Structures are given as structure tokens and as C-alpha cells.
Structure 1
Amino acid sequence: MDPSDSIPESAGTVIVGAGIVGCNIAYQLTKLGRDDVVVVDQGPMPTTGGSSTHAPGIMFQTAEAKELSQFANYSRKVYSDLEGADGQQAYNETGGIEVARSEERMAFLQRRVEHAKAWGIPDPQLLSPEEVTDHLPLVDQDQILGGYYSPTDGQVSGVIACDALAREAIDRGAEFVPHTRTEDVEVTNDSITAVETENGRIECNEVVVATNIWARQLGEKLGVHIPVTPVEHQYTMTESLAELSENDTDITDHPLFDNYENVSGEKAKRLLVGPDRAILRDQDNAMYYRTHGDSYGIGSYNHDPIVPDPQELGTNDPDGEQGSVHEFTEEHMNTATHPDRPHKPPRQASDELLPATDGAELEFKYNGMFAESPNGLPVMGPVEQYDGLWTAAAIWVTHAGGAGKALAEWMENGVPRLDDGPMDVSHCDVNRFDEHEGSWDFARDIGAEEYRIVYNVMHPKWVWTDMQRDIRRTPMYHSHKELDAELWAEAGWEEPQWFESNADLVDRYTDEIPERNGWEGKYWSPIEGAEALNVRENVGLHDMTAFNKMEVAGSGAGTFIQQLCTNDMDLDIGEVKYTLMCNEGGGVRADITVTRTDTNRYLVLTTGREVGNNHVSWVRKHAPEGVIVNDATSSLAAMVCTGPNARKVLSEVTDIDLSDDAFPFFTSQQFYVKNVPVTALRVSYAGELGWELYTPSEYGERLWEILLEAGKSYGLRPYGNGALDALRIEKGFRLWGEDLHTEHTPYQSNLGWAVDLDTEFIGKDAIKSRQQQPATAADGGTRAKQVACLTLDDPNASILDNRPVFDVNDDETLGYIHSAEYGYTVGACVAYSYLPPEYAEPGTDVEILFEGDRYAATVREEPLI
């Protein structure tokens, strides 16, 4: 690459950070036609000294999180198209193998196969111990039970890739400026206007913070609390091994060697050498391996988390100091310090698996840093507080190519996408976080926990148990505790999953609640089923305070609401309407319930949990001057009283006429429940007769108590989120972020009835265009898919989501399960998927692969009840 000697006075976009993420973004932006991109970095280039410099570059594509697998798969393709400075392909497609030393891990590897098939990773395979050693002859097969093999996994050198990406971006007009520390970002009227560097000011319209472990510090200067946490992990390279002597490689003539050596020292002679065999991962011991010529590289997460203070991180300077590297801590390699692996030191585990390393000197060793986020996913997208401020942090080499593509498309065209279509990144969005997550106290603890569990076998329903709990309490929290609620943390809220006080209901409904004894039964209680059935038969009370609530007010509120919403939003005061918000690409950005509460005032209700803040941010970002968007989530307590007896319960505590004529479905009224003021909506996510009740937070506990007391004679019981998921799925109600998201249009989601094309709204033109274009499997698949409601043929079986769906006569993946839950009223497990239209027809037979077994399922007409 040919970096600049001086900084330009202006640019359209400034990317802060020239590591693998910044280089990928510059590469993609210039590929989309931008020629006014400037990349600045505090270190030299392409060996900046960040994690891209010290990372061994292993590329395992398969992850349970779809986003990570999509990013990695795309990254592999990008790196495979790059030519390194030596004229060779930048990507080393060696394959990757994860081995199991326990039965629990073998079951995990089966899930690996299923997730790989669901996400489209090529040719995933389970291997016997003998087949593992066919690929990796130095592995002691007596130590393992088998392995998972992904043939297209491999390795890419961050330095080689950064150089290749930068060279192509420079050819298209980008400028790269090394040895230039960014000191501040200039803002005028909440818009980005310039970047202040140690060498001068660059006027610009956009800034991308791609500084990874340093992202928090730059954000703090702007009052933006980016919850990324630097963590250390160990990497070592052995001395030359006799068993690898035929692979002795002299890399000192590589065009990038001198640059690399100036920053990384003598270890560059090994780091720059690509592997000659499959990458190896021993997750039971939180370790991974790759060859460096005649040496083996050993990476270890198998130690107590080490979290440095961001304010005390070093910098990358011209003298070769690497701020992302700390001194090797011997005790973490030679002592068992990992809280979940107390019985075997990492070095011992390594020598057992690879006997060739036993007794070998660890010639090069260091603690390298990378960034963790609170949910282990990237932190990317436009920052709500400032126009033109973007983030791209907590992204590994493995995922940087895909993340860079998605972000560049987002910046240029308004919608994150990869080559095969739009991509949902709601769980990666920088605006997903709640205020408490910005604190260093929270980020430090959860970053350490994410590090601790990175190679653990984790259940998808697992939640933090000890760390950073009891942060947000609904007004009904103490009542929940008295009723012995099983509380799970959702976006910091302590929310009931079920109530142990309802255990007596299980005997009443025992014949309708099948047992769950496998992976699907972990973190589940039969009480969930009993609570759901009680709602259908009697009445239930659910705390929905954590659902996101917005108040939109102002003289232009009505016009703005129509601009946001796909439905006709010409509402009377007191009218309620279900509608969608779409992005510029026509994908569903959120499903919401809108109530007109006054002439120029609306109550907007949307899903909570982790993704809810994305919706609040979206609405605020689009609000015109004169329209106020107030996040009312914390100021309003909310609950729903629902079930056949709901009207009877409410009639005990209010004089309001609750009949269908006086209080029709999808209307709202304000009245008192005894002495508590409420705004009541005649809607229910459970799909039964019911009213959602909203009241100022200080009244919430009292309202809850009133309703519990009034409902005793009518069979009222509180119910948790487990029952709610079962209730909503058998009624066909979508859950945004699971079976409804931005990758599909309203029509693909069977929600076309919530779209009025005679109105004007964001995404309308894209929706019409996508509807008019012929959809084929060749266009990447997402546009060619249609939502399908499935039920398992075995009435006693249950599955979890994110597993592949097949034709009964074929092994080709048709789609994957977006959400699944047992429908206790239906008497079958209900699952939602998006399938090719010919397979989405009711009556079609398909199969779902779950935990190694193929389950027969049938497409059904929805709603089921």
C-alpha cells in the first residue's frame, strides 16, 4: 500500500482505524463508488499494531448467531479474492476442525452441523477420531471422541489482508494516513463536521469509529457510551518442531516482512507464515491451534478473564509499541485459572492433545487484546445522537469482511446487506443498548463474562445468573418475588419467565403438557404450559412493562406517524391500529401498535427485549423538527389482563362499560381502576379477550395488586414470558427479531394486510419494486421465501429455533426455523420458517433437523386457533 505523508483538509467520510475493520469498510465504500474516503490510524500501515497485527487470523465460520456466520462466510469470499503483496491469494483455505473431548461437546458439534446447514456454510461434517487425524496427524486421537469439520474454514493474515484491501481502496480514490492519532470529533448542531487529529483537522460529513479496543475512549469524548470491553487472551508459538521440519519456511523476503518486523519484532517471521493444515480448536479446553511453518501456534482462552482499563491502554506509535499487546502472564498458561476449568492447566491440555508440543519451548508468547460486547456480537451502525457518526467495533478478523460490506451498504444505501440480499443486524446495532450498559462497571463485568463463556457450551436460553443483575425492576418486582417468580434478565429488566406459585396448575393440565428431557428441556418448566392453558381457559395477568413505549407529540405528529407506518394511520382519538415500520429497502423494521390518545399525541408500542431500543432510535432519527419522541418505557408501568374471564375481572374494579359495543376491539379509553388512572387498550398479544393497561410507574404495583385480588374468584394467575411465547405463536402473532425482521417484506411475512399502498411511508417504493420483480432462488433466496407456519407431526416433540428445514426426500436446506415453541392449546410444537413458495403451501410435508434427528413437520394454515 502507499499511505499519504500528509492529511487532507477535507473528506466525505473519515474512518478512524486502519485495522482489518477500517480497511474492509474503505474497500467496500470505494467499491460502491465513493472516492472521498480517508482512513487515519495512530500506527504505521499496514501493520498498525492493533489486534489485526497480532491475531493469528483463524477463520471458523460456523456460529449459533446467524449474523456471525453470515459475516464470516462473506469474509472468506472477500479474502479469497484478494491478492497479497507477494502475489499469492490472501486466504488460506485449509479447513477447520473442532474436536470434542466429552459427550456434551459431541452433542454441541452436532448442533454445529445443524447451524452450518441453516446458515449456508458449505459441506459441514462430523468426523470420527480417525478422520480427524487424517487431516491433523499430530493430534492424539485417544484424547478425542470426534470432530466437526468445515472444509472452507481457514486463515487470513490481518496484515496481508489490510494491505490488499487498502491497495484496492487507494486505487479507487481512498486516502490512508498513518501515524496520526485522532484526538476528537467536531460536532455542530448534532451533526459531524470534522475530525481533529494530532496532525491537523479534516473537515467531513461522516466519521466511522473503527478503533476496536479504543472505541470506548473516542465515544466518551462525544458523550456516547460504547459498551466495548478490551480483554486479553494468550497466544504463543513453539520453537521449531521435528514433526513439522518439512514445513520450515523463510518468510523474510515477503514484501511486508520489514514493516511487520518493525512493529511486532522477531515473531513476525512466524506470524506472517500461513498454516499448511486444518485449523484446530479444542473448545473443551478453550484453546485453538494453527501451524506457522515448522512451529505450532497455541491460542488460549483458558484462563481467568483479564480486563484492562480502557483509559490505561497504550497506543500504537512509530517506535513499534503495540497498544494491543501486553506482556505474557505465565501463570495463565501453566496454572488452571479459568473459573469453569479448574482441573487442568492450559499447557497440560495442549500437550495432551498435541504430544509433539510436549516439552517444546514457547519461543514467542504474548497477551493480545480484542474487544467484547455485552452480547458477544459486533457494535455497528449509525449512532442515534449524531448525524454522520458510525461505529464498527468488537469485530474480529473472521467477521470483518462481512461487517464491512453490511456497514458500507448501510451508509451508502440505507440498508445493511450482503451480496445475497438484505441482512438483519438488529442484534448488532449500536443503538440496541440501554443506558446502564454504557457504564464501565457493567461493560467490564459483562465483557469478562463474555470472555469466560466464549468456548463454553451455552444454551440459547441461558441468562446471566450472578453478574450485573437486579439493575432494572418493574414496579411489580416485589410482588413477583413474593410469588416466587423465575426471573430472567431481559435488557436489564428482571422479568418473570414463570411463577413457581403456579406449580399447582401443572397437575390440572398435566395431560396437555408433554415432558421435555433433552436440550429443548433446559431452562424450561411445565409451569409455562400450565400458565398458558390457564390463560386460554380462565384469565391471566402479565407484566409487560419492559415492552418499549413511545409517546409521539407535536403539531406534525400525525403526518410523521403516517410517514413511519405502512398502514393508513388516519385515526380517531381512542383508535388503535396494528402497523409496521419498514426501512428504505422495504424490510420490516418493526411491528408496532399505535394509539391516538389526543389530537396531536400518539402512544407507540413495540417489542421489548434486546432489540426494542433499535425501534426507539429509528423513530427518533426520523422525527422532524417540532415532533417530540419521548421514550416512555420506564415512566409507564404496563400489564395485560387477558383470557375469557378478563371482562369479569375488570368489571369488579371499574364502572366502565366493557362490552363489545361500548369498548370495541382495537380501541382505547382512559379511566380508573379503583383509584388508579389507566390508559386501557382493547388488545392482547396472547390472542384472547383482554386489555393492556398503562399507568404511571408509581401506580403500577398497586394496580397489579388490585387485579390479582379481583381475579381470585375467576381463576386469574400471573404468567411469564414462557407462557406468552406459547400463546402468541399458536395465534400466529409475530415476534420481531425472530420470525419477523428486516430481511423480509410485509408480504413475505403474510402481513400485507397491514400495508396500505395508497399512503406514503418509508420503504413504500422498495416494497412495490420488490413485489414487481420476479423472485427466484438465484437472487440469493431471501426474496424468494415466504413465511410458513409448521407443526411437528409428533405431538410430544419440541424443538428449538435456528435449525435447518429440508424437503422430506432431500438434504438441501430450504430454510431455517426462526422461532419455535410448544402450542399447548394446539397440542403440537409450532415453528415458523421462511421457505420457497412451493414449500410454504399448507399441507406440505417437510423435515426439521434437531439434535441429530429429522422431525417430520407439516405446513399449516395460520392462525392455528
Structure 2
Amino acid sequence: MSHANGLPDTAGTVVIGAGIVGCSTAYHLAELGRDDVLVLDRGPLPTTGGSSTHAPGIMFQTDEPKVLSKFATYSRKLYSSLERDDGKPIYNETGGIEVARSDERMDYLQRRVEWAKSWGVPDPQLLSPEEVAEKLPLVDPDAIQGGYYSPTDGQASGVRACAALAVEAAEMGAQFVGHTKVEDIEADGDGVQGIVTENGRVECDEVVVATNIWARQLSEKLDVHLPVAPVEHQYTMTEPLAELDGREQDVTDDPVYENYRSVSGDKSEVLLQDPDRPILRDQDNAMYFRTHGDRYGIGSYNHEPVVPDPEELGGNEEGGNQASVHEFTEEFFENATHPDRQEKAPRTASDELLPATDGKHLDYKYNGMYSASPNGMPTMGPVQECPGLWTGLTTWITHAGGAGKALAEWMERGVPRLPDGPIDLRNCDVNRFAPHAGSWDFTRDLADEEYRNLYSIVHPKWVRTEYQRDIRRTPMYHSHQDLDAELWAEAGWEAPQWFESNEDLLESYGEQIPDREGWEGKFWSPLEGAESLHVREAVGLHDMTSFNKMELVGPHVDEFLQQLCTNDMDLDVGQIRYTLMCNEAGGVRADITVTRVDEHRYLLLTTGREVGQNHLAWVREQAPESVVVNDVTSSLAAMVCTGPDARKTLSKVIDADLSDENFPFYTSQQTFVENVPVTALRLSYAGELGWELYTPSEYGETLWEHVMDAGAEYDIRPYGNGALDSLRIEKGLRLWGEDLHTEHDPYEAGLGWAVDLDTEFIGKEAVAAAAEGNVDRKVACLTLDDPEQVVLADRPVLTSDGDEVLGYVHAAEYGYTVGACVIYTYLPPEFAEPGTDVEVLYEGERYAATVRDEPLL
């Protein structure tokens, strides 16, 4: 049975949206053997009228987030394997050049070289202005200081890519239906049951929302509030240029042309023309360029942000009614309206860089829309609120090939993968967002901010100050303010990074804290070092409320916990155990401490910051109906009292014997700190003597004050996340999301001691195989040889006598007690042996480093 337009009654998986992400996902699902995939779109096929239709398709592969570069590299290879009717590949490997107009941007381009080396983007190069002009003859070399060249960058038409992927997927059994608006997704407590369209109902087990700018409206029908928003930017094409004469291409015989023209009008004839030279970006002016035959296309993000209301977008129809395209805002192109770039108008910047465009008429002008997430990353994966509901959103053509591959692998095999192995998606997972992120106010403001930062030079520790602050306050917030805390926003929490009230500590410790003057010195204070050293020598108190906390309750919770965890979880009440959670491929999904609070109740403590929600979603996804998983992050205030004088401090106010005999390491007790009820845990992420203290949130500030008062005679000091990062790395304690994530198995990560292969747990088969096999990489702790030097993460680790890239810096912090910058990386086993000399490429310089035994302290 089928409905109108050939719509079937049933399907296994329905992909809503036939843009580049939907087509890529369907193609990869079919490639994995699924023959019951249905792809629907409200527009005509293959040119649906969404963002993939109007996008000029430029593809720069290099980015600081590893996952984006990996997605882009796979996309390049995928599009290169797809052919047009004339036998040419969909992908035009023209090369890509990013130019610099300032010293600061030249430094940034050097970082791009280093990221490219870390992520395996082929042959990254820095060019002089004259070398840029040799490859791009219309660029004025006097307008720039140099450029970054990636030879395998290029361009892919979204329309052609969608059409080619759809043909391939259809040949493998997928079905594509256009002109079919999805009006609702039906779901109950068991998950997705079907979809309702304007042409009838389709029963299905899974739905992938790949509707991009329309995703928010559709998901809210299920009370799922996706923090994605449409954002506008400008694109236009010049009149034919004499300098490009003879390069015009006839595309009217292209199989997609007539369909494309019916949706996009006359501009389709120009958009389909291929570039004949490297694509170009002028990020100092938030602009990009590519040729279309004998014309230059000019894209601009150099204007004030425009975030439309999703409810007012409408739909796509033939005849040029394209909801993802709005009228060109002329004033944004002729005037400097970007809040952070007031130096020159986009038109002026374009004419300076490409003098051939000066005075030329601009044709086919429009504001095109894409979809943005709060952190500018893809939004993909299973939605925890609704089993069977998946998302593939906020993803550009550049990354859509890789994102579709990873998503299909996730759906079919349980783990996101690319051909070279599992890919970590912690910063892309749809479940990474805290509840407040679903509000339209938050989504709109963060989309605005992401737009402003799109081509800006953003430090990895950059903290927003203008938008959506003071959302989540720990109970100690006002105490922190009284102590002049430097508060950073992390998953909405106002979390202390350091305390200005500790400035007097610099008199004691200042000589042990090297100055930082370069890129590594931004968003840093020597107070981080002073606080770290003080904790090692005396006592400190740290607010860890923002760390994610889960409570597992139920009569069969112990059985489930054993299935979830790699270690032996046969615990007595009051015992604590460090363990890992692995996925089906044996990758580390999280490292956690588990406390058995009573017979049928456990407390799980895991990473906070911007990735902690992922762990909560994972546990809930695995939990049987008999186990209740409560998120108690907000309901429990948490702090840790740490340092040699921690016992003396707490003994003054706690109703418990803190001796080693009566309160041994890795145990907990229910007790009181003066008049405050606490769950006290004998452990410390700082690696010093310490106790973590948990109490209902309303007691948090009082508990903080009790401990601070008790420690006054021992000079107790509050310390922030900056000090904690230094303290933990010196002790070799892993931080999930930096030097530990799903691309690592326990044995590569040096955590085999947290695995008990005599138990049954998720991923055991893969973990057992890793235990028996020879690893091709191994965690390594490095220190820089020069105690004055500091590097940041994501830079390549090289052989000491050559240019071979061995790995990259996963995490780097200065170890103030060690007296050196400490780095964690993963290297081939022969290079991970203590005493091995390697080098780190950082800001264009090679820094000597040595592999050390861990932990360092």
C-alpha cells in the first residue's frame, strides 16, 4: 500500500530532509545494508530549496576541532568518488587559500598549519603575498601579509552532491519522496511510532530529523527543544569580469539544471559553474570568494547578526519561493554593520582584495540561511527524550559527508565511525546541552554570538561576557563574588577559574610561576599557579557543584551497574570505586567514581563542564525500567577540601573520625559538618589528601562557610578550575573530553587497572580484544624541557630529528609543583617509552619535550 506521491505505508527509518545531511545519512545507511530507508522533503527533489540549494559549496578542511577536520576530509573523499554525468567528480579540488591582513591573523594561519598537521590534512603551507597572487592572480598582494594554502581544499555543489548521493542510495534500496511535508512525529513512552505527512501516515521505528533551519519547529511537537537557529548571511556574484573572459561554462545540459532553475531561478545557471582556481577566505573581513566561470562569487558574514524566528520561515515551493533565502540587505554590504568589525564595509574589503571587482555590478544577490548551534558544532545523535528519534543538524556541506557516515554507523552499529576508526562526538552530541539551552532566548542569543565569532580569532579558553550569563549559580555564588572570583560560564554554570582575593599568595609563590606573554598567556592568571602551589603545601577549598552527579536507584541497580562499568562493582555500602563506562566498540564513554550509598542506591560522579550531559544521556539510554536514573547535579552542592592540612581543617567541624584507619581512601560516610548533613567521600581530583563533601543545595553556602572558617588558622584558600587542571595533570588523573574519550580504549589510556575482565559489561568483547592485542598508540606523559615554556592543546607532536607527526597534544597545563609544562598525548608505543625525546610544534617553533614516567608526583 502507498499514499499520494508514492509515499509508502511503512518504513524502517524515515529521514526528514533531503538536503546534504539527509542524503549523506541515507546513502551511508544504505551502504551499511539497510533497504528500508525513506527520505522525505517538503520541496522538490533533488533541489529542495534548503541551505544545500543556495550554498556556494566552498570546503576548507582545516579547523581547530579535530572532528570538523576529520568530517571535512572524509567529505572531500566522498564527493570526489561521486561522478556527474560528464564523468567529472562532484568535488572540485582547486585548493584553498586563507589570507591575512594583520600580524594577529598571520599567527592564526600558523596555527592552522599546526592543526592541519595534527589532524592529517595533506600538505599545509604558508604563502607569501606574492605566492598567493601566483595562485590567485586577481588578488592584490599589497593588500595582504600572506596566506595559508591547503592544496586539497575545494568546492562541491550541494545540489549535485545531493543528487548523486540520492541516486546511489536509491540504487541500494532507499526511497526518496518530495513534495511531502511532515506535519508530526508520533511517539509514545516506547519511542517513535510513525510520522504524519500531508499525504498520509507512515509507520516507522526511527526518524532522523535533518531539516536544518526547520528542525526546531518539528522537534517541539514532541516537547524536544533543540537549541538550533536559522542565521542569515550574504552571497552575491559579480557581473562577468574581463579578467575571467572565456571561462563561462554552459550548464544547461546538466541533469539537475532544470529542477534547480525551477527552485532558484536564473542564479542557478551561475551557481552551477565550477571554480577554476583556489577558493579564498579573507577572515579579517569575514568574507569568502570563489569563481563561477567568468564571475566572482562573494560571501559575507561581515554584518550585524540576523537570526529569524523559526516560526516565520515558511516552506519551499517551485517557482522560486525559497524559504532559506531572504532578500539581500544592501545596507549590510555597503556599510560596516558587524558589531566587532567597524573598520570597513564588505564592499570596500572585497574591492581592496580583488581590485577587478571594484565598481562592478553585483548580480543575483541574496541572504542565505544556515543553521547554528550554541557552540557552532553539528547537532547529531539519538535524542534521549524520545527513543528512535535522531538528529543530523547544524552541519555544512563541508562536513556533511563525514557527519552522515558517522551518524549512519552510530545508528546501525552503535558507535560513530569513520573509515580510520571511531570518532569522538562529545561536542556534537545532541544530548550535550543542559536544559536551559532549549529556550528560544538562549538559542537566539547564542546563534547571534556564534555568527559574530564565525571568522574571528577565538582563543580556546575564550569566555563569553555579553550573552546569556548568570544562568546557573552554585549555592556558593555570592561567596565567590565576595572573594572576587573570576567566573567563567560552563554549561550555564558560573564557575570560578581563579580568585583575585588570593593575590597575596604571589608574594610567596610568584617566583615559581613563569610569565606568559603570548597566545598561551591569554585567559590565564598567575593566580592559577599560586592556588595550585598553595593546595600542595597547605589546604584549599574548591566548588565542584558543576560536576555531573547521578543517582541510580532500584532493586536491581547493582546488576545494571555491573553491566555499565568495566570494574568489579561488588561494593559494600560506603565503598567507592573508580571505573570506566565503555561503548560497544570498547571506547571509553566516561570515567566515573561510584559510591554505594545504601543497599539500592548509588551515587555516580563524572565530568562536568560542557560535556557532562552526554554521560547522563548514556546512562539513561542503557538503564532498564527497573532502575531510576536521577540527575542530582543541581540538587546537590559539592565541594572538595584538599591539601596536607585538609584533615586538620575538617576535623574541627565534621562529626566523623578522619583517620586513615576509620576513614580510609575510597570510602564514604553520611555525617554532619556542624549543623549541615553531608555525604563525605575520601578522594580528591587534585591528587592530595582530601574529602569531597555533598549536601542538599540549600545547605551549600553554609557548608562552604563552615569549612572556610575552620580552615582559617591553616590559611585555607578557595581555588578555581585553573588550579584544579594543573593539580590533576601533575598527578596523572585523566580528564574525559581532553586526554580521554571514546577514541581511546582503556589499555591505550593506561587505565587497564580499572577493568575486570571476569565481569560482564558493555563493550567487553572489544575491551578484551584490546587487552590481548598490540596497541598502535599509547598514552604518554611529556614535559617540556625548558621550564619557562608553555604550549596549548591540539598542536602536533613530532620526532625530535625530523618532521614525522607522531600524535597531537590532547591536554597541556603547567605543573607548578613539577616546574614544567605537562602534556598528555598518545604516541606509537616505541615513542611512548620514558626518556624518549620528541618535539612539539607550537606557534611556529619546535619545543623540545621528553616522555616521562607517570604520575609525575
Task: Sort the TM-score into its range (normalised by shorter chain).
Answer: over 0.9
Shift of 1:168: 0.4
Aligned-residue identity in percent: 71
Provide the C-alpha distance between the structure 2 equivalents of 1:758 and 1:9, rounded to a whole number of angstroms.
Answer: 47
Alignment-derived partner of residue 847 in structure 2: 855
d(CA) in 1 for partners of 2:314, 2:345: 29
Q: What letter matches 2:577 in structure 1?
A: K
Distance 1:766 1:316 in 2: 46
Tell me, yes or no, if the aligned pair for 2:265 and 2:319 is still in contact at 8 Å.
Answer: no
Aligned to 1:529: 529
CA distance in 2 between partners of 1:378 and 1:461 (Å): 20
Name the aligned partner's letter for residue 444 of structure 2. Answer: R
Q: Residues 85 and 163 of structure 1 are in contact (CA less than 8 Å); yes or no, is this contact kept in structure 2? A: no
Partner of 1:818: 810
C-alpha distance in structure 2 between counterparts of 1:559 and 1:825, whole Å: 42
1:625-704 correspondence to structure 2 within 5 Å? 625-704=625-704
Asked whether the equivalents of residues 4 and 175 of structure 1 are also in contact (C-alpha less than 8 Å), the reply is: no
Q: Look up the equivalent residue of 1:716 and give its one-letter code.
A: I
Q: Match of 1:835?
A: 827
Q: 1-side partners of 2:176 and 2:370: how far apart?
A: 23
Q: Deviations over 1:679-715 (max 9, x none)?
A: 0000000000000000000000000011111111112
Work out the CA distance in 2 between the residues paired with 1:479 and 1:33. 58
Question: Which residue of 2 is the match for residue 434 of structure 1?
Answer: 434
CA distance in 1, matches of 2:682, 2:525: 30
User: How far 1:246 sits from its partner (Å)?
Assistant: 2.2
- For residues 806-839 of structure 1, the C-alpha deviation after alignment (integer angstroms, 9 at most, x for no partner) is 0011212110000000000000000000011111
* Residue pairs, 1:237-276, within 5 angstroms: 237-276=237-276
Equivalent residue runs for 1:34-49 within 5 Å: 34-49=34-49
Give TM-score, length-normalised by structure 1: 0.98
SS in 2 for 1:75: helix
Structure 1 position 391, deviation (Å): 0.3
Q: Distance in 2 between matches of 1:753 and 1:130?
A: 56
SS at match of 1:503: helix
CA distance in 1, matches of 2:39, 2:320: 20
2:194 equivalent to 1:202: no
Which structure 1 segments of 5+ residues have no match? 776-783
Residue 340 of structure 1 corresponds to which residue in structure 2? Answer: 340
Per the TM alignment, residue 575 of structure 1 is displaced from its structure 2 partner at its CA by 0.1
Give the stretch that moved more between structures: 190-199 or 827-836: 190-199
CA contact 2:14–2:37 (8 Å) conserved in 1: yes
Matches of 1:808 and 1:719 in 2, distance apart? Answer: 37
Structure 2: stretches of 5+ with no match in the other structure: none
Cα distance in 2 between the residues matched to 1:352 and 1:683: 60
Is residue 316–residue 322 contact of structure 1 (8 Å, CA) maintained in 2? yes
**Residues 275-325 of structure 1, C-alpha deviations (whole Å, 9 max, x = no match):** 000000000000000000000000000000001000000211234311100
Q: CA deviation at 1:774?
A: 5.0
- Shift of residue 773 of structure 1? 4.7
Match of 1:785 among 771, 777, 802: 777
Q: Could you tell me how far apart the structure 2 residues matched to 1:853 and 1:49 are? A: 47
Q: Structure 2: how far apart are the matches of 1:774 and 1:841?
A: 15
Following the alignment from structure 1 to structure 2, what is the Cα–Cα distance between the partners of residues 180 and 854?
57
**How big is the shift at 1:124?**
0.2
| More displaced 10-residue stretch of structure 1: 796-805 or 646-655 | 646-655
Once the two structures are superposed, residues 152-171 of structure 1 have per-residue CA deviations (whole angstroms, 9 ceiling, x without a partner) of: 00000000000100000000
What secondary structure, in the 3-state scheme, does the structure 2 residue paired with 1:506 have?
A: helix
Q: Is the 8 A contact 1:85 1:160 kept in 2?
A: no
How far apart are the structure 1 equivalents of 2:50 and 2:434? 28
Instruction: Report if aligned partners of 2:732, 2:854 keep a CA contact under 8 Å in 1.
Output: yes
What secondary structure is seen at the aligned counterpart in 1 of 2:265? helix
In 2, the alpha carbon distance for the partners of 1:199 and 1:813 equals 55
CA distance, structure 1, for counterparts of residue 374 and residue 488 of structure 2: 16
Q: Tell me the CA shift for residue 271 of structure 1.
A: 0.2
Residue of structure 2 in register with 1:552 after alignment:
552
Task: Give distance in 2, aligned partners of 1:345 and 1:847.
Answer: 43
The residue that corresponds to 1:780 in the other structure is none
- Partner-residue secondary structure (3-state), 1:580: strand
The alpha-carbon deviation at position 785 of structure 1 amounts to 1.1
After TM superposition, list the pairs within 5 Å mapping 1:706-717 onto structure 2: 706-717=706-717
Partner-residue secondary structure (3-state), 1:456: coil
Is 1:180–2:180 an aligned residue pair? yes
CA distance in 2, matches of 1:805, 1:87: 41
> How does 1:609-628 map onto structure 2 within 5 Å?
609-628=609-628
Q: In 1, Cα distance between the equivalents of 2:110 and 2:49?
A: 38
C-alpha separation between the residues in 1 aligned to 2:801 and 2:419? Answer: 29
Q: Which residue of 2 aligns with 1:469?
A: 469
Query: 1:248, 1:592 → 2: CA distance?
Result: 60
Which residue does the alignment assign to 1:134? 134
Where does residue 778 of structure 1 map in the other structure? none
1:546-582 deviations in whole A, cap 9, x for unaligned? 0000000100110011110000000000000000000
TM-score after normalising by structure 2: 0.99
Contact 1:190-1:385 at 8 Å conserved across structures: no
Aligned amino acid, residue 809 of structure 2: I
Letter paired with 1:56: P
Q: How much does 1:189 deviate?
A: 2.3
Q: Distance between the aligned counterparts of 1:66 and 1:477, measured in 2?
A: 34
Please tell me whether residue 726 in structure 1 is matched to residue 726 in structure 2.
yes
Aligned to 1:20: 20
* Partners of 2:216 and 2:228 within 8 A in 1: yes
- In structure 2, give the amino acid aligned to 1:125: Q
> Partners of 1:107 and 1:190 in 2: how far apart?
53
* Aligned AA (1:480): H
Tell me how far 1:84 sits from its aligned partner: 1.7
Report the 3-state secondary structure (helix = DSSP H, G, I; strand = E; otherwise coil) of the residue aligned with 2:208: strand
Distance (whole Å) between structure 1 residues aligned to residue 255 and residue 551 of structure 2: 59
Larger deviation: 683-692 or 239-248? 239-248
Provide the rounded CA distance (Å) in 1 between the counterparts of 2:733 and 2:773. 28
- 2:792 is the counterpart of 1:800: yes
The amino acid of 2:803's aligned partner reads D
Alpha-carbon distance in structure 1 between the residues aligned to 2:770 and 2:271: 47
| Amino acid paired to 1:284 | D
Structure-2 separation of matches of 1:312 and 1:729:
49
Q: Secondary structure at the match of 2:657?
A: coil
Q: Secondary structure at the match of 1:684?
A: coil
1:770 is displaced (CA, Å) by 3.5
Alignment of 1:478-557 (within 5 A): 478-557=478-557
Q: Which amino acid aligns with 2:181?
A: R
Shift of 1:4: 9.7
| Amino acid paired to 2:780 | A
Quote the Cα distance in structure 2 between the aligned partners of 1:655 and 1:364.
Answer: 75
Contact 2:4 / 2:199 at 8 angstroms: preserved in 1? no
Structure 2 counterpart of 1:218: 218
What letter matches 1:11 in structure 2?
Answer: A
**In 2, distance between residues paired with 1:124 and 1:648?**
56
Alpha-carbon distance between aligned partners in 2 of 1:859 and 1:842, rounded to the nearest angstrom: 5
CA distance in structure 1 between the aligned counterparts of 2:598 and 2:655, rounded to whole angstroms: 23
Aligned to 1:781: none
Code of the aligned partner of 1:854: R
8 A contact 1:84–1:163 mirrored in 2: no
1:146 match: 146
Residue 127 of structure 1 deviates from its aligned partner by 0.2
Structure 2 counterpart of 1:833, one-letter code = T
In the alignment, is residue 291 of structure 1 matched against residue 291 of structure 2? yes
Give 3-state SS (helix, strand or coil) of 1:5's partner: helix
Secondary structure of the corresponding residue to residue 133 of structure 1 = helix
The answer on whether the counterparts of 1:639 and 1:693 sit within 8 Å (CA) in structure 2 is yes
Checking the alignment, whether the CA contact within 8 Å between 2:747 and 2:770 is kept in structure 1 is no
What is the aligned partner in structure 2 of residue 78 from structure 1?
Answer: 78
The offset of 1:22, in angstroms, is: 0.3
| 1:432–1:614 contact (8 Å) kept in structure 2 | yes
The one-letter code matched in structure 1 to 2:342 is: P
Q: Which residue of 2 aligns with 1:459?
A: 459
CA offsets per residue over residues 76-105 of structure 1, 9 Å max, x none?
000000012443210000000000000000
